[in-house]
A and B are shown apart, each in its own frame.
Chain A
Amino acid sequence: MGRIFRDIAIGILAIAVLAAVPHLIPGKAFQDFVIRCSSMALFATSLNLLVGYTGLSSFGHGLFFGLGTYSFALLMQRTGISLPMAFIATLLINAVTAVAVGAICIRLRLIYFAFVTLAMQMLMHSIIISWVGLTGGDQGLQGGIPRRVVAGIDLGNQYNLYIFAAVVLVIGLLIMRHIVNTSFGTSLRMIRDNEARASFLGIVVWRVKLTVFVLSAVFASVGGIVMSLFVSGAYPELINWPISGDAIFAIVMGGVGSFLGPTVGTMILLLLNDVVTRQTEYYGLALGIIILAFALGLRRGLLDFITERLGGRPAGGIS
């Protein structure tokens, strides 16, 4: 129990600090950064539930991030329901989709699992591109998201959206943290380390895998909702393969074995992106060299590297 209270306290502290920062540092770039960070960190951490904790390497997790942006933006544009209702409905849509997709995917193993999830994502991408009447096709959903007011707070205002994103991020991370610390989380790690033994010990492997698949999809869609609010719409790029790549790079660079690894990785990637694109148009060259230095120098994510240096053993991890 103590751990939960400690985590919640840290979360509240983080929100308080974030809420204060804009009053100290003027300029809105920091707020934009935090909003994007919140979206991508939720997405990357949700992917790490699969990769780091269960040993399921998905290449197509962007399906749920993108579906989150589209379902939320469409619900806001096409129906009259309020933002919180659209939020909940989006989570439901993603959960249902994840049950169907997961039921097919978790039958497959290792690299085949990775590629079938990617195929699922690209299939959804093809559908969104083709269904022009509903989604606007490759142009994306245009015209912005209306009625961004929750309980009198207008999320169209940047500072409000910033606070909203920070709160959603902290709550999302707290819940995921709780999930991996329960006995369910222990089952995940047992499956990762030795599926046959886990099964022998009475864990119904497929049920656990499907559950974590659905849970991670739901959290990915929360990241999608934040992104949808940030860009005020939804675009096919948000469900295309590179978005899955971004999440994978974030968790690999931040550390698959540490709960906050994906969040740290997201921050590294976004910072690199923002700083490097300002300096040079040879963004790929610069980023590529930095990634190589990272991958070959540390050979593991940053947080995992630090944990090991401090003599600890990362809690999660894949080998």
Chain B
Amino acid sequence: MDLDALLGCVTSSSCLVTQTTSGLIVGMLLFMVAAGLTLIFGVLKIVNFAHGTFYMLGAYIAYSAFMFTGSYVLGVLAGGLGMAIFGVIFERVLISRVYGANVLMQLLICYAVVLICDDLVKIVWGPDFYAMGMPPAFQVPPLFIAGGVVPPFYIMLIVVALAIGGALSLLLGLTRIGKIIRAAAHNPNMVSALGINTTLLYSLVFAVGGMLAGLAGGLAAPVRSLTPGMGFSILIESFIVTVIGGMGSIGGALIAAVVLGLIRSFGTIGFPLFTEGLMYIAMIIILVFKPSGLFGKEIV
């Protein structure tokens, strides 16, 4: 434990700026993965344990598309689109068969998909780890803001993630389909009784969730290593985020993701050897006082 260092950091503007942006970037990428997870749970009451795999596949597809086209933007879009399609297939072929089944049966099916996809990645791309490399447009020196160091690439990531989060809220809040999705989350039978095609709706939700995870994987590919099984650590953190935020609450996921990012960035200064334990303690404390997460609906 190094509380002096932590105190020193929060009282210095350069450290505060640097660590806050680093917490934000970790948090925003996490939010994109967690948003899909929480959306799927909110509407379908499905806990998608294969969500980390969406992220992994998105990163690999983006990597290949980048290698093929040389364009980072196309790479990211390919990752998002590929995972939207994958999400629909996953929902139609597998998940649709276990709606209403026990959560453990869903867990089993998702686990099987994780196993299969990790090996498929190994077969298609090989067991080596890859790095996409920084797109030339972002191979520039970092900016200095109030004495803190902030790379332009990360500013772009934060802006893009915020934009996507904003678009998602607008979609859910203002459009007709968004209203239907929210209504379905509230009362699926009612939506179905109103003659709305729930099959299409459920596929759509998985497409959006998959796309978000795929985009996150693609966006992160220039700076993170691609290995089979890379989705797992993201999955665990996304679950912490969705549970703390309240399962089904996208706003809650945003706040929890940022909080988690900040715990990591300041925890590494104050408690360098126990950062991970800190995240679990935060989760337990929040659940003890708010048994359905910060913004979750009470389950009765």
Contact = CB atoms under 8 A, between A and B. Distances in A.
Contacts, number: 125
A285 B124 CA distance: 13
A109 B288 CA distance: 11
B108 A126 contact: no
Contact of A318 (B102, B108, B114): B102
Contacts of A226: none
B97 interface: yes
Interface in A110-124: 110-112, 114-116, 118-120, 122-123
Interface stretch (B63-71, B146-154, B277-285): B277-285
Interface string A254-287: 0010000000000000000000000000111101
A13 interface: no
Interface stretch (A15-23, A26-34, A159-167, A241-249): A241-249
A42 to B, nearest CB: 19
Contacts of B47: 111
Contacts of A112: 243, 247, 287, 291-293, 296, 299
B105 A288 contact: no
Interface stretch (B19-27, B115-123, B212-220): B115-123
Given A112-B287, A248-B107, A296 B94 contact: yes
Contacts of B103: 57, 110-111, 114
B281 A123 contact: yes
B112 A289 contact: yes
B239 A115 contact: yes
Nearest to B47: A111
A92 interface: no
A295 B104 contact: no
Interface in A72-113: 104, 107-112
B183 interface: no
Contacts of B118: 284
A241 B236 CA distance: 10
B111 interface: yes
B194 interface: no
Interface in A283-319: 283-285, 287-289, 291-292, 294-296, 299, 318-319
A142 B247 CA distance: 41
B243 A282 contact: no
Contact of B284 (A51, A120, A288): A120
A51 B104 contact: yes
User: Which one of A109, A111, A119, A282 has the highest number of Cβ atoms from chain B below 10 Å of its Cβ?
Assistant: A119
Contacts of B98: 295, 299
B101 interface: yes
Specify the main secondary structure of chain A where it touches its partner.
helix
A249 B292 CA distance: 26
A9 interface: no
A127 interface: yes
Interface centre among A122, A241, A249 (most CB of B within 10 A): A122
Contacts of A109: 291, 299
Contact of B109 (A126, A251, A296, A319): A296
A252 interface: yes
B293 A295 contact: no
B122 A282 contact: yes
B15 interface: no
A130 interface: yes
Contacts of B281: 123
A287 B287 CA distance: 35
A49 interface: no
Contacts of B119: 282-285, 288
A90 B55 CA distance: 41
B104 A256 contact: yes
Contacts of A245: 107, 111
Interface string B269-282: 00001101100110
Contacts of B299: 109-112
Contacts of A222: none
B85 interface: no
Contacts of A104: 284, 288
Contacts of B111: 245, 249, 288, 291
Contact of B112 (A107, A122, A127, A295): A295
A253 interface: yes
B113 interface: yes
Contacts of A319: 102
A123 B239 CA distance: 15
B247 to A, nearest CB: 6
B236 A116 contact: no
A169 B61 CA distance: 48
- Of listed B47, B94, B114, B287, residue having the most chain A CB within 10 A: B287
B67 to A, nearest CB: 24
Interface in B246-300: 247, 273-274, 276-277, 280-281, 283-284, 287-288, 291-293, 296, 299
A287 B276 CA distance: 30
A111 B291 CA distance: 10
Nearest to B122: A282
A291 B284 contact: no
A57 B277 contact: no
A109 B212 CA distance: 28
Given A111-B247, A282-B122, A127 B116 contact: no
11 contacts: A57-B103, A112-B293, A115-B243, A115-B283, A119-B240, A123-B277, A284-B119, A285-B116, A288-B115, A288-B116, A299-B101
Given A126-B280, A284-B114, A318-B102, 14 more contacts: A51-B104, A57-B103, A108-B291, A111-B47, A114-B103, A119-B280, A123-B280, A130-B274, A283-B119, A285-B119, A288-B112, A295-B108, A295-B109, A299-B105
